[in-house]
Structure 1
Amino acid sequence: MTERHLALYVRVSTEEQAASGHSLREQEEQLVEYARSHGFPRYELYCDDGYSGKSLNRPAMERLRADIRAGCVLGVVTTRIDRLTRSVADFARLVDEMNLHGVFYRSTRQNFEISTAMGRLVAQMLSVIAEFEREMIAERVHENLLAMAQRGELATKPPFGYRLVNGRLTPDPREARWVREGARLLLTGASPRDVAMEFNALGVRTKTGRLWTDRTVRTLFSNPALAGVSVWNRRKTQGSRRTEREPTEWVCVEGAHEAILSREEFEALRGMLERRRALSPRSQGSKRPLAGIARCGFCGSAMYAGWQVSKRGHERQKRPIYRCGRYVTGGGCTPNQVDASALEMLVVEELLRRVRPELEPVVSAYRAHAASNELRTVQRKRRVALARLSRLAEAYASGVVSEEAFSREQVRLLRVLEACREAEAQAAALSTTDGWDAWVRELCARLAGDPHLERALFLTVVREVRVFRPKRSREVDVDLVLRLE
């Protein structure tokens, strides 16, 4: 049987050490002295540096509890009860575990026994006081941070796009333009990896002079500072790790400094990044517009974006495709494979068909207004050209203009009149059904020629595309699940 040892537990949070100076070294010296003076030759130190006492999720505490359950611990000693925990519920749980495994507890500054009813009562009262003290410390820290933040005194390390001027964040003109360019790329469908590659290729570096990665791009464009919102107390140090606090502990100040992006742009960016993170890792950096969105209509698994290679003569040809992921990995589904360009065009057409009842009146009104403005401009231009042509004929008849100059100017004005007639016909066609269909075809062609824009549209509007293509069939059917449904 393993010989049991005395557990010496020490803990200090960053706020407590700064406020009281009760350091780990002082605690350790007191506990080692206690072990030696009370005749415990075997003891082991359990140290949680920079961890709050509001929960038991601490590395050394978890190791201590595991040793207690394993029967390796004879007793637990701390300098004060609040070193163990500042939660009444957690203290009651620890007392039950210690009593269950025959482990005693001692506090070098507070004398009581948890094995007796009176000792447990005293311990419970002390734990209530410790929890109250923790809440008071948290309130004071939050109030002080908020007051300092409102005065603009907390800015330390500026994010990319900013610099410190008299202790306040001020946009850096050289970096701010790259922030706007990166936001534009992300909002038009580029992935964080695409933005990182673009920045690295153009010689743009991070604040620390390193290359950009998809992670640093996501971190930058998730920072509310870009929208003029300063956030402090967002992260904390636990040992050697930096972790994020609960949002209720953040200190946020609106309008603390000049914004690089508008609030609407920042919210759109954050939504786009969150939707990308919801995709599978395989699809997050894909350039195919439907990667991570298209799913097999038969088995429900993701459709993989890939290539089909064919050989014609001595040349190899590649065409983009989507195919059922379960079929690719040998899961037993049908070979649900479709041409990527055809599927993307089909989804755009289906999306326009779904939203046409709501979209057509707005678009028709806009197009009618645009057509009337265009028509008035063209008619004015045509009247000016006719008047100039008339004056030119009079000048030629009077001998003021030579025949060569007359011919040259006449040809130019006739070309202007021909262009005006064509523009009038196009403006008149905008309000007709054929004009609407032509506009839809132009929109589809533009989206097909810009995969980034098409992916941005799908990520914003479409939650899922279910693809059905029966075996040996050329017909493809899709079922769209929109985010607004």
Structure 2
Amino acid sequence: MPRAQKAAIYCRVSTLHQVDKDSLPMQRQDMINYAKYVLSIKDYEVFEDAGYSGKNTDRPAFQEMMERIEHGEFSHVLVWKIDRISRNLLDFATMYARCKKLGVTFVSKNEQFDTSTAMGEAMLKIILVFAELERNMTSERVSSTMNARAAEGKWNGGRVPFAYAYDRETDSFSIRDDEAKVALELKDTYLRTHSLTYTARLLNEAGRRTRRGYAWTPATVAIILRSPFYRGTYRYNYRDESEVTFSFKGRNEWIMCAKHHPPLFSEADCRQIDFWLTKNRRQHGKATHVQRKLVHVFAGLIRCGFCGSNYIASIDRVRASGYQPSMYNCGGRRQKGMCKNRYVTDIRIGGFVFNYISNVIRLRDAFRPQWSKARIQRFLLHGDDFCGASLSDDTLRRVRAALLGSRLSTAEYQPADEQHDDSPTQTHKANLQAELEKNRRALSRLMHLFLYAEDEMPQADFLREKKHLQDTITRLQAELEKAQQSSVFTSSLTDEEFLGKAARLLFQSAMVRGSIDFPELAMRVGNLELKNFVNAVIKQIIVLDGRVTQITFANDEIHTFLYH
């Protein structure tokens, strides 16, 4: 028994504006009449998608229609034009294959054919190919124009990034002071805590909100930190939005315009941000490194001045600033209960050790031959961390003798940056700098040729060559920065080169305030870096009654501390 005829009439318009005019009602009435008087089908149902694009078939009414077709409810599918179904050949081919398999006839009223005939089916496919070609050509023209504008540093529209304002008349960006304060607070908080979650929590607790008034989340914090816009770089053509959710294109397709607008974050801060974002990144839902709270700066270095046992490290409570120090207990007391020596924390021992090393480094430059041992002691034990402490007479004698010997046997001190260096490292840096300048000149010549040469350069060739030169410049800049950042953890305490390198690490904050706040330094630099530094310069620390009584440095020099 033949199936009863029933038509599924499908209507679609791309914009809501067309709904209120004649397009959607006209499509509907035209196809109802066609079903009644041409196809002689009295039973029909209309499916309408208003304001949906034809680039794919992710539309509610269309999906409902296809689901009911699968259940055998319709014998015909009637559309006004075939591009009402989709402008994408693959999408339409999938839909048509389903209809054909179920024995459902596809009819296009405007093109005057139906797929119940071989000619109608062939014509359908030919027309659809040209419909997709037209869409792709239009898309390519729009993309080419937008990419060319972006390559010239012109804004292509979209949401203006947080902390910035856009002036349409001058086509330029400026920093918004009110939002910039929040963005800088976000950056500083992350560099202190190294945690997206904790940064979002602290911002919300302080009453900070996004531009739309929402609370901060780890995802929105990450967007700010990762975006090159806050580094002065305009990025375009980096998202693939052909699917329901966007994905990132290959980096070779990105358009990057450096120095496009005033940066909000410094280059030094950006390097720190990138380091911690990379270190904390997650793969398959799991962190790729052990969080710094499990790194104990002084683990393995502290010995009990009472029983001689090693101190054992554990985690202490989180402080109000967000800093979580380590706690060190005597192994003899913890395991055998035979020792009465007190525990120490990173806050106490870290402040003592790092400020003492800072004072040792600064003493090298400040010392004068006429200084007495008492003057040397006041200098070395300057700061609140040394309250009640003094140096043994033997330590002071050896320190003064070493300083006098250094004065007699070395030439006048010159900062490392001013010393002449013909080492392979310096030669490598000079070569990188020369190559960098060469590529910058090449980029400048390319821009001049494109703008002013008599023989016009194809835009595609210009964009390709410009991107190649910009990528080379970025790579050389990164290599040059890396070559200029030598490690501070490579030699002993008495080595002159080491002292200069250590000073640059330790006194980035001490030069301003005159002393080192160890919790702040730990949150900024990270426990792992501090641990590497301590292990490189210190062999052993002896603690008695919660206080440092002796430090043995890597060169076996021993400094002994006494208390009143």
Please report the TM-score for the alignment, with normalisation by the length of structure 2. 0.48
Partner of 2:35: 38
Distance 1:22 1:269, change over 3 A: farther
Partner of 1:392: none
Secondary structure of the 1:106 match is strand
Counterpart amino acid of residue 265 in structure 2: L
Pair 1:416 & 2:375 matched:
yes
Deviation at 1:414, TM superposition (A): 6.3
Written as runs of structure 1 = structure 2, the 5 A alignment for 1:311-326 is none
Which of 186, 192, 195 is residue 191 of structure 1 equivalent to? 195
Counterpart amino acid of residue 101 in structure 1: L
Which of 264, 274, 290 is residue 260 of structure 1 equivalent to? 264
Deviation at 1:122, TM superposition (A): 0.9
Which of 217, 227, 230 is residue 231 of structure 2 equivalent to? 227
Counterpart CA distance in 2 for 1:257 and 1:224 is 11
Counterpart amino acid of residue 26 in structure 2: E
Partner of 1:430: 493
Secondary structure of the 1:77 match is strand
Distance 1:290 1:151, change over 3 A: same
Secondary structure of the 1:431 match is coil
Partner of 2:366: 378
Partner of 1:122: 123
Deviation at 1:45, TM superposition (A): 0.9
CA contact (8 A) 2:232 2:263 kept: yes
CA contact (8 A) 2:72 2:102 kept: yes
Counterpart CA distance in 2 for 1:61 and 1:376 is 80
Deviation at 1:183, TM superposition (A): 2.2
Secondary structure of the 1:430 match is coil
Written as runs of structure 1 = structure 2, the 5 A alignment for 1:91-102 is 91-102=92-103
Counterpart CA distance in 1 for 2:197 and 2:146 is 35
Distance 1:210 1:113, change over 3 A: closer
Counterpart CA distance in 2 for 1:279 and 1:426 is 52
Partner of 1:134: 135
Deviation at 1:136, TM superposition (A): 0.8
Partner of 2:81: 80
Partner of 1:169: 173
Counterpart CA distance in 2 for 1:424 and 1:61 is 89
Distance 1:151 1:191, change over 3 A: closer
Counterpart amino acid of residue 137 in structure 2: M
Deviation at 1:190, TM superposition (A): 3.2
Counterpart amino acid of residue 154 in structure 2: G
Deviation at 1:425, TM superposition (A): 8.0
Secondary structure of the 1:91 match is helix
Deviation at 1:98, TM superposition (A): 0.8
Unmatched tracts of structure 2, length 5 or more = 37-41, 296-313, 317-324, 329-357, 381-395, 407-491, 507-516, 531-564
Counterpart CA distance in 2 for 1:87 and 1:209 is 39
Partner of 2:331: none
Counterpart CA distance in 1 for 2:528 and 2:132 is 49
Partner of 2:64: 63
Pair 1:208 & 2:212 matched:
yes
Partner of 2:545: none
Secondary structure of the 1:105 match is strand
CA contact (8 A) 2:28 2:46 kept: no
Partner of 2:249: 247
Q: Per-residue CA shift, 1:117-150, capped at 9, x if unaligned?
A: 2222211111111121121121122133334544
Counterpart amino acid of residue 116 in structure 2: S
Counterpart CA distance in 2 for 1:212 and 1:219 is 11
Distance 1:22 1:275, change over 3 A: farther
Which deviates more from structure 2 when the two are superposed, residues 95-104 or residues 224-233?
A: 224-233
Counterpart CA distance in 2 for 1:263 and 1:75 is 64
Counterpart CA distance in 2 for 1:449 and 1:35 is 76
Counterpart CA distance in 2 for 1:275 and 1:64 is 49
Distance 1:274 1:378, change over 3 A: closer
Q: Per-residue CA shift, 1:356-382, capped at 9, x if unaligned?
A: xxxxxxxxxxxxxx9998565133xx2
User: Which of structure 1's runs of 4+ aligned residues deviate more than 6 A?
Assistant: 21-25, 233-238, 248-251, 279-284, 370-373, 425-429, 445-449, 455-458
CA contact (8 A) 1:9 1:78 kept: yes
Secondary structure of the 1:129 match is helix
CA contact (8 A) 2:363 2:379 kept: no
CA contact (8 A) 1:234 1:244 kept: no
Deviation at 1:101, TM superposition (A): 0.8
Counterpart amino acid of residue 430 in structure 1: L
Secondary structure of the 1:38 match is helix
Counterpart CA distance in 1 for 2:66 and 2:400 is 84
Q: Per-residue CA shift, 1:397-429, capped at 9, x if unaligned?
A: xxxxxxxxxxxxxxxx76324446857689897
Which of 36, 46, 49 is residue 47 of structure 1 equivalent to? 49
Written as runs of structure 1 = structure 2, the 5 A alignment for 1:313-352 is none
Written as runs of structure 1 = structure 2, the 5 A alignment for 1:266-277 is 266=270, 269=273, 272-273=276-277, 276=280
Counterpart CA distance in 2 for 1:154 and 1:132 is 25
Distance 1:13 1:271, change over 3 A: farther
CA contact (8 A) 1:231 1:253 kept: yes
Distance 1:263 1:93, change over 3 A: farther
Percent same amino acid among aligned pairs? 22
Distance 1:7 1:225, change over 3 A: farther
What is the RMSD of the two structures over their aligned residues, measured on CA atoms?
Answer: 5.1
Distance 1:61 1:194, change over 3 A: same
Count of residue correspondences: 343
Q: Per-residue CA shift, 1:233-286, capped at 9, x if unaligned?
A: 778999xx99536637997451332222357855764675576562687989x9
Distance 1:92 1:457, change over 3 A: farther
CA contact (8 A) 2:81 2:111 kept: yes
Q: Per-residue CA shift, 1:411-450, capped at 9, x if unaligned?
A: xx76324446857689897138xx99xx9xxx9x969994
Unmatched tracts of structure 1, length 5 or more = 292-318, 322-339, 344-369, 387-412, 459-485
Counterpart amino acid of residue 79 in structure 2: T
Please report the TM-score for the alignment, with normalisation by the length of structure 1. 0.55
Deviation at 1:110, TM superposition (A): 0.9
Distance 1:134 1:446, change over 3 A: same
Partner of 2:413: none
Deviation at 1:212, TM superposition (A): 2.5
